Amino acid sequence: MAGSTPASPTASPAAATGAGAQMVSSPGGEAWRRFRRHRLALGSAFILGVILLAAMLGPFVWTIPINDIDFNARLSPPSLKHPMGTDDLGQDLLARMLYGGRISLAVGLAAMVIAITVGVLVGAVAGMSRGSVDAFLMWLTDLFLSLPQLPLLLLIFYLFNDSLKKLVGPETGVFILVVAVIGGLRWMPVARLVRAQFLSLREKEFVEAARALGASPARQVVRHILPNAMGPVIVAATIDVAAAIIAESTLSFLGLGFPPDIPTWGRILFDAKDHLDIAPHWALFPGMLIFITVLTINYIGDGLRDAFDPRRVL
Amino acid sequence: MTQYLLRRLLIAVPSLLGISLVLFSVLALAPGDPFGELAANPNVPPEVAAELRRKFGMDDPVLVRYWSWLTAMLQGSWGFSFVSRMDVDLLILQRLPTTLLVIGSSQLLALAIALPVGIYAATRPYSIFDQIASTLAFIGFSLPTFFTGIVLILIFSITLDWLPFVYRADIAETGWRFYWEHFRQMIMPVTVLGLFQAGSWTRYVRSAVLDVIRLDYVTTARSKGLPERVVIAKHVVRNALIPVVTLVALQMPAIFGGAIVTEQIFRVPGIGSLLISAMLANDTPVIMAVTFVFSVLVILCNLLADLLYGWLDPRISYR
């Protein structure tokens, strides 16, 4: 019975009643049915959806410009006119948070796409080829895993920031750099995961059958192996979004990320930390939002892990 | 054991070389030129600038430059800090003990929380205690260190005024007062780092113990009549710790990242805040050296993890 212990503590183990009566059609539908059993994950998905919608549509509803300076309302606490208060220049924090949410979430998603693409590519190549190519790619993966990420992130940022800014403008330049560096330093766990999946799936009977029918290696990978390896990859992708959001906020919080006129959540927190004693609301709102976003994404990842694990009975 | 240690040390050399190669390529690929200012300065004739470039080997092939950089790093001549006006290796030696002290005590705190809580939660899966512990662990590793730090400052320094929020290396007290002041100012940085680690470690410990606790040999130990305490401590935990050590070693780079942020928030005079201030002041030799030191620390921690395997799993030593 060693394998039947559910890995997640938050799913209720006794919630499997009435599942047998339901006809399950597709693997996707099955995963969704199992995901819904994880109540915290479902609630998190809802909250994250609200945050996403607010970031996407909010600036159209809340139309105060992010750089509207009003010295009469400096550092004012939350009120009806400014639901999240204002900063030291009297700029409306709600508007800045909505705008910053767009950037923070976009950075998270884009960095995740890069990390997953590189990771799946390296893992698939290493898993399909034997011998020296596999050994070299895994050595490279281990090497990247032992790099100190934040110092390296800061180093690359420090060295390349200025010239890229000149090349494509401050906002796009920083965005490209942040996304590329965060994504480029987070592909290793995915590569290991995909390689391990490939090593076991490659020897399965259904792949052998495809091989016997004359499927080319590319077709074997794309049609037969990769779809079966995607479950853990999707979970890793979810967690990577959260990690990338934290990495971007950390960079901005250290004063090295986006410039001051582009208010990401980390940047707002960085500007707020010197006024903690008189305007705590300024730091608490962005901090809480980062925390809630990361927490909900992590819970969704937990729910997906349960949903994709075929050994679990839900 | 000695042979195992030697073999592990030999394996560490290529990864150290690889890391140095990555660092150097980043530096070499960077568009900035240390002599850029010189070339733009009208008071320096172009011949002098070219002579300087030649003298410092700027025009050599990349491999030659890498080799001379590497040998210089290995010999301990790490350059001269433009800002602090002293040798980089002395500067880092000054700052390193503080960083190691803060990181080390926070790891001890994280272990002291994660081990008992994770083991206790795994022995009673899905109990109330387990659910609360798991939720708290989830919150713990979802809270970014910079936010916990700010909240702690807000509560304990500004509202309650119990703890100082600026770390001072020069405390004008002697004897017991000196140590007490040091302890007081270390509480918040250590708590921030420790709680963050404790969150993810609790989850690792819990799932590792849960994997082991259902195995047949544990049932055998119980049916021999061993008390539950001995079964857990001697049979379960020792084997459960093997995957935990792997995960902890893999987390080391993240821990150093957290340390940089924490040092920055609380103004701890360690190498993390040295790195940030060097970046803001364009002090390249210091930046390169600190990054290198962090890499070496990560490799050392991996080595330590390998030694721990040998202790936890006696079969490994003889392989």
Q: Which of B95, B128, B205, B279 to mutate to test the interface with A (most CBs of A within 10 A)?
A: B279
Give the residue from B87, B123, B141, B101 showing the smallest Cα distance to B208: B123
Tens-digit pLDDT profile for residues A260-271? 778 888 888 888
Task: Assign A17 a pLDDT band (cuts: 50, 70, 90).
Answer: very low
Chain A nearest C-alpha distance from B175 (Å): 33
Let me know how many helices (H) and strands (E) chain B has, helices first.
Answer: 14, 0
In this prediction, residue A162 carries a pLDDT of 73
Mean pLDDT taken over chain A: 79
Cα gap B71→B85, rounded to integer Å = 23
Are residues B291 and A155, on separate chains, in Cβ contact within 8 Å?
yes
Task: Assign A52 a pLDDT band (cuts: 50, 70, 90).
Answer: confident
B residues 287-316 closer than 8 Å to A (CB): 287-288, 290-291, 294-295, 297-299, 302
On whether the pTM is more than 0.95, the answer is: no
Cα gap B200→B146, rounded to integer Å = 17
Contact A185, A153 (CB under 8 A): yes
Backbone angles phi, psi at B87, to 5 degrees: -65, 140
Cα gap A264→A270, rounded to integer Å = 10
Contact A183, A156 (CB under 8 A): no
Length of chain B: 319
Please identify which residue in the block is written with the tokens 């105060």.
A64
Length of chain A: 314
In this prediction, residue B39 carries a pLDDT of 58
Neighbour-count burial for B175-185, b at 16+ CB within 10 Å, e otherwise: eeeeeeeeeeb
In this prediction, residue A21 carries a pLDDT of 45
For residues B149 and A163, the model is more confident at: B149
Give the residue from A230, A199, A226, A200 showing the smallest Cα distance to A215: A226
Residues 6+ apart with CB under 8 A from B179: none
Closest-CA residue of chain A to B140? A295
Are residues B131 and A9, on separate chains, in Cβ contact within 8 Å?
yes
For residues B208 and B319, the model is more confident at: B208
Ranking A40-44, A73-77, B149-153 by mean pLDDT, the lowest is A73-77
Dihedral, CA of residue B238, residue A147, residue B147 and residue A175, to nearest 10: -150
A249 is written with which tokens? Answer: 């906020």
Residues 6+ apart with CB under 8 A from B2: none
pLDDT at A113 over 90: yes
Cα gap B208→B11, rounded to integer Å = 27
Q: Is A48 within 8 Å of chain B by CB?
A: no
In this prediction, residue B41 carries a pLDDT of 66
Mean pLDDT taken over chain B: 80
B88-123 helix and B128-142 helix, angle to the nearest 10 degrees? 160
The pLDDT of B94-123, averaged and rounded, is 88
Instruction: Please give the share of chain A, as a percent, with pLDDT higher than 90.
Output: 4
- Show residues of chain A in contact with B136, CB under 8 Å: none
In this prediction, residue B147 carries a pLDDT of 86
- Show residues of chain A in contact with B121, CB under 8 Å: 9
- Name, of A70-79, A188-197, B11-20, the range with top average pLDDT: A188-197
Instruction: Please give the share of chain B, as a percent, with pLDDT higher than 70.
Output: 88
DSSP A89: T
pLDDT at A308 over 80: no
Contact A5, B123 (CB under 8 A): no
B residues 64-93 closer than 8 Å to A (CB): none
What 3-state class would DSSP assign to B87? strand
Cα gap B240→B279, rounded to integer Å = 42
A17 is written with which tokens? Answer: 């009643």
Q: Is B271 left (phi over 0), alpha (psi -120 to 50) or beta?
A: alpha
For residues B72 and A183, the model is more confident at: A183
In this prediction, residue B34 carries a pLDDT of 56
Question: Across the interface, which of A160, A269, A295 has its CB nearest the CB of B138?
Answer: A295
In this prediction, residue A6 carries a pLDDT of 46
Q: Is B151 within 8 Å of chain A by CB?
A: yes
Task: Assign A115 a pLDDT band (cuts: 50, 70, 90).
Answer: very high
In this prediction, residue A110 carries a pLDDT of 92
In this prediction, residue A114 carries a pLDDT of 92
Ranking A57-66, A70-79, B9-18, B35-44 by mean pLDDT, the lowest is B35-44
The pLDDT of B86-100, averaged and rounded, is 83
Residue A95 identity: A
Instruction: Please give the share of chain B, as a percent, with pLDDT higher than 90.
Output: 1
In this prediction, residue A175 carries a pLDDT of 83
In this prediction, residue B35 carries a pLDDT of 55
The pLDDT of B193-212, averaged and rounded, is 87
In this prediction, residue A117 carries a pLDDT of 92
DSSP string, A245-294: HHHHHHHHHTT-SS-TTS--HHHHHHHHGGGTTT-HHHHHHHHHHHHHHH
- Show residues of chain A in contact with B130, CB under 8 Å: 9
Are residues B295 and A146, on separate chains, in Cβ contact within 8 Å?
yes
The pLDDT of A237-259, averaged and rounded, is 85
Backbone angles phi, psi at A311, to 5 degrees: -80, -15
In this prediction, residue B244 carries a pLDDT of 85
A residues 236-265 closer than 8 Å to B (CB): 242, 246, 249-250, 253-256
Are residues A147 and B210, on separate chains, in Cβ contact within 8 Å?
no
What is the enclosing helix (H) or strand (E) of A94?
helix A93-128
In this prediction, residue B36 carries a pLDDT of 56
